A and B are shown apart, each in its own frame.
Chain A
Amino acid sequence: MSEHKSSSANKQSKDSFSSIYLELMKHPMLFWIKKNLFDSVLSSFLTILSIWAIVKVVLNIILPMISMNWIAIADNLKLILTGSYPASQLWRIWLCLCYVSLFGGASFGLGKKKIPLLLVIILFFEALLFLLPFTSTAKYFLLANIVLAASGLIGVRLFDKEKRIRIIIASWVLFLPAAFILVYGITGPDGFMPKVQTNYWGGLLLSMLISMTSIAFSFPIGLLLAIGRRSQLKFIKFSCTVIIEVIRGVPLITILFIAYLIIPLALPRSLNPSVFIRAMIGIIMFHSAYMAEDFRGGLQGIPRTQYEAAASLNLSKTKTMILVILPQVFKLMIPVLVSRLTGIIKDTSLISIIGLLDMIGISSAIISNPHYMTSSPQVLFFIAAIYFIICYSISSASSKIEKNLEITTKQAVSL
């Protein structure tokens, strides 16, 4: 009898427990936690394991890192970002950055009405830079950058949709020559913008300039190679195929070494290009081949009927290509191109191996200074963070553009 009673009591308590449980599950947050974190035994175990891992990482890596001595970064910030570019002329680089902020903000303004993630990232990054020991002019420029990015974001709404895209594409096309004129200078040593030779360029500035130029040049060269590969002339087809496959089959370092060692041998002595030019040629050669393969994919994506329709309109082959095929290919290619840009930025880090002082080259110079010898983790971490922020914002921009243009192409696998 008593047994029966206790079991019924047990049942009752179980019932009340499960009713409490059901009541709790009505709360959306608790339901979410149950569903996403403690769905099964394995899942709960994994949750606890990963929380433990996160706590360990925070305690053993992140907290010690914050308390580390970051003086090496603070002292060499200018070196890491611009190399040995003359300090009195830094405003020219700031102007370039303002240009980027304005049109970067405008590009993001193309998206949906929600505040884009990138702007938050940029704001965070710039806030972080505010904490770093910059000069007061630099701080004004930083403030100007934020204001410009925001105004670009809002200002782009003033134009109608067709104009917006045209303005932004034109501004990015114009950016490269403008940046080169600003950085290289036009006047003599006493003038308004004295020339600065390429061996004074360094750090982030150098990587950015080389990658921007490389994408600008490898785009048309890659396109020509891709069209050449589809040519009906056997010789052109063969030579384009060989060029593309050979370059794609060897590592970038070999191409850079060819550019570094062989180009001066092949050219007459009077025409000795600087290491900057040689490195750029190497990177352009390498990425043209990859770009050609991207274009080949794009060209194959155009249905045959397009060619036939153009032929029935009595368009010549060149006109078919320029007026009918390429505009469609370009639209298909935008996301691929943007992800190729991150690939180029990452690959540019290799120029340090042939002796250019990009961020990595500068970092080894800093570490070899006995004063900062123990701070190699900090310096490398800082550089990695800069690369991550740049590449991550570009790739997230790429997926945004993809959504906007409603293109569904596979992301090119670049390694």
Chain B
Amino acid sequence: MTPNLHLWLIPILPLVGAALNGFFGRRFSRQTVSAIALTFCGASFVMALWVAIQFSSLTLPHYELLAHWIRYGDFMVNFEFYLDQLTLVMLLVVTGVGSLIHVYSVGYMWEEGGYYRFFSYLNLFMFFMLTLVLSGNYLQMFIGWEGVGLASYLLIGFYFTRDSAASAGKKAFIVNRIGDFGFLIAMFLMIKHFGSLNFAEVFSKVAEYPVETAGIGVLTSIALLLMLGACGKSAQIPLYVWLPDAMEGPTPVSALIHAATMVTAGVYMVARSHVIFNHAPTALTVVAIIGTLTALFAATIGIAQTDIKKVLAYSTVSQLGYMFMAAGVAAYSAGIFHLMTHAFFKGLLFLAAGSVIHAVGGEQDMRRMGGLWKYIPWTFWTMTVATFAIAGFPPLAGFFSKDEILWQAFSSEHGSWVYWLIGVITAFITSFYMFRLWFMTFFGEYRGAEASAHAHDAHAHDSHGHDAHGAHGHGEPHESPMMMVVPLAILAVLSFIGGWIGIGGRFEHFLAPVMSSREVSVAAETASHSTETLLMGISILAAVSGFGLAWLLYYRNRDLPQKIAESLGGLYRTVAHKYYIDEIYAALFVKPLVEGSTDILWHGIDQGVIDAAVNDSASGARHLSDGARHMQSGNLRSYAGWVAAGGAVVIAYMIWMGVTR
């Protein structure tokens, strides 16, 4: 008899918090609002921990039915909760990192307007994310999937009075809609072919199918459509464009939603559906290629960005690419491992970046920072840990997970040395742009004061963000309050040691029961141990050389980058403008859509046909009655005349009828 864990409480608790703050928060003080938000989010985390403690005594996968939802013939969807190792990892990451970011937000958002609104949205996000993670079927997962999109939209557009924030929110929402379309169609196909959306039932049906090696069959279609959904949510090529713009939201939001949790939902979904993907090698290859290309592509854009949050945004896209690369070579555990460590160090990077922005009074342009390490030591040291972690220096978290992915990309049966090579190049670029950020922000002299003296000189990116912290004025950079520093410190510790649980494949063995269809063959690993060590050495070398190059260009010889950029000319401009992808999308998709809607649908059909039909029939009726109203002259005798004439007509008709009968 398995105990009832009341898993439904985990998502519901933040929803209660969101409702309390959302409906009554306007009347609460800031202290009350933060207390409510932290209590309910923290309660979720405590419950997740409690589940983790009991975990070993459960029979897995643990399943809890809350209520029936849809019943139509044999087809049935329930509100149900599903717990296995994969869920547990996601659960702890989401509630843990989420709670830390809630704490941080209390400090970060203290001065901002709409305080209760922010925390209400944040709790709402937690509810939907936990629904997504805990769901036992695709439809309930889809609720969470759409819900996090909604929360993301609300939070990106949090400073809705700023036009750029409002349109960034819309962009995120609309681009995600394209992906969700794929997810929906995939679900329809599942209903059609498997008659169920429940994970266990779908996967057992899929297991009966043969592996689709050639052509695009049912499973490949489903897998590709799911991947389309994942591309939207997890910002992969071709749908990654919304994520950099999403940096318009407050920085804690970027950390929680657009780095640590929501954007990893796609990876989680692919890992969850690994049975389908394993039966569709073609789709798996597509996943790997998309992941690899995204990793490289986004990393190169990251080199030329000057907005500190934009660098991190492209870095996130790139790291998500790594996760998909892992999923694409059927090394789902490695992907989830990287997901977890990434949640630690990228969450930390964003929070630390927020702390930096806070310190310099809302400035986001790295060219106006510099020398900050002596002003904000806590932020500096935590960010240093995160930077070294993401760059892949051992023994920090990022090294273990990234190395695992690269090794799997090389050695897995679906892998290839091409993936590995691009992965290593990306690792080098990652290391380079992260240390570029690090050197530009923390070393050299503080350039903020000098820049504000002759303000708004040649800075092309001035119009960006600023998080409404600009009102602070521009004094000496100052360290953030304890509420912000403590989460930074905790995440720094996690970024440091978080990778150690993966040593010796322990993480994979933990997830192995979930990913049962492809057991990591320990024997093969040990056999090629020397190769693995060699590859590990190369990836460390890549990380170190990235550091070295950044040191050379942004510490030692700071005029050099300018010269290189000038000598590269057009190439540099292309990269700095993100390969003009936004412009290309605007010309290819947005403009035809907008113009077609305006000229054909609006002016042509709506105004020309629908409105015209209504207006013309109305004005026709008006003209007709305009003639008829002259009959009402107010003259009594003319009325009498009409009556008499009418009577005469009736009598004449009756006589005529009498005659003809």
Instruction: Judge: A and B partners, yes or no.
Output: no
